[in-house]
Copies of this chain bind each other. A is one copy, B any other.
């Protein structure tokens, strides 16, 4: 890792966001767990800190807007249903920052794709935020199951979607910092695929009675 990044994880009290934050902190980055409630954010941060090895980066907890203000990279890890309201709240302090969205709309029953009106949650976010924010989609199909176990090798690649190569590269590097391989997989227009893969992974988990189906790109 070259630079220590300051990363806010909105909805970082959930399993996926917390797991990614834990791995990034272990890699030396400074993590701000964001939540609507500053108290819940602080509690989640404290719990994560307790498990970190020596030499890790910081993990603190803040209300979402303050977390966004303090960080240079913003990771959106809220349920799809909370996305619009969350982005509304933080939009005033998000301009010129990079937003990496982990959000995947999940249909019911489990394992079904939810085709949202804007094509994908990531495209809806980009439209809501406008051109001053660059939206990258990644980590949707990574199971949260083993993220907080640093000894567990995550057997899955991270497909990274976005319109700007340099911004995709940030997510590719963050995948590496979390022990995974990031793969450039096309423009934001392809976001429905990687968001839908989250539902497909759940369908596979249900069908084959497992918890952590992953996905590897071959031939690279």
Residues of A within 8 A of B (CB): 107, 111-113, 115, 119, 155-156, 159, 183-187, 189-190, 192-194, 196-197, 199-200, 203-204, 207-208, 210, 212-220
Contacts and interface: CB of A to CB of B under 8 A. Distances in A.
Nearest to A187: B112
A193 B156 contact: no
Interface of A is mostly: mixed
Contacts of A189: 107, 112-113
A216 B219 contact: no
Contact of A220 (B197, B200, B210): B210
Given A214-B219, A217-B214, A204 B190 contact: no
Instruction: Point out which of A185, A192, A214 has the most chain B C-beta atoms below 10 A from its C-beta.
Output: A185
A192 B119 CA distance: 11
A220 B216 contact: no
A213 B218 contact: yes
B216 A190 contact: no
A186 B216 contact: no
A134 B70 CA distance: 54
A190 B185 CA distance: 19
Given A186-B199, A190-B203, A213-B219, 6 more contacts: A184-B204, A186-B207, A190-B196, A194-B200, A196-B196, A214-B217
A53 to B, nearest CB: 26
Contacts of A112: 186-187, 189-190
A194 B208 CA distance: 18
A186 B192 CA distance: 16
A186 B208 CA distance: 11
